[in-house]
Amino acid sequence: MEVLANVIMPKIETVNSENKMYYEFKYIESVSNLSIYNQLLNWVSGEFVLCLQERENGLKVYFPSGVLSIHLLKNSYNKVDFEIVVKAKNKHKGINTKSTVYNVLSHLREFY
């Protein structure tokens, strides 16, 4: 994996689980406080309002060809680390889902 500006840029993995192929994208990100993380979960939830969602431990969104999950890894005084995982049967759908999340994240970082 290549590390670039505190963002881990993963290789796109093709996972073969019980003869079911899917693409998995994993990213570790951070924001400065927990309220920004919660705002991210809220805004991403709004982007996928028509999809089935779970808000038990972070956010999990089920879309027709896969799943998106965002969950907290570490909450310290001035930094909140979290993981974004997109699993998709279709590579392009996975990339589009990841792009949607990163658009929201970049918007939050710009204003907070």
pLDDT at residue number 14: 63
Q: For the segment 30-89, what is each residue's pLDDT rounded down to a tens digit?
A: 999 999 999 999 999 999 999 999 999 999 999 988 999 999 999 998 999 999 999 999
Summarize the confidence of residues 12-32 as an average pLDDT: 80
What per-residue confidence (pLDDT) applies to 86? 97
Cα angle for residues 62, 65, 70 (degrees, 5° grid): 40
Distance CA 26, CA 41 (A): 17
Residue of 66, 55, 74, 54 lying closest to 97 (CA atoms): 66
pLDDT interval class at 18 (50, 70, 90): low
- Architecture of the 2-111 domain: 2-Layer Sandwich (3.30)
Does residue 7 have a pLDDT over 60? Answer: no
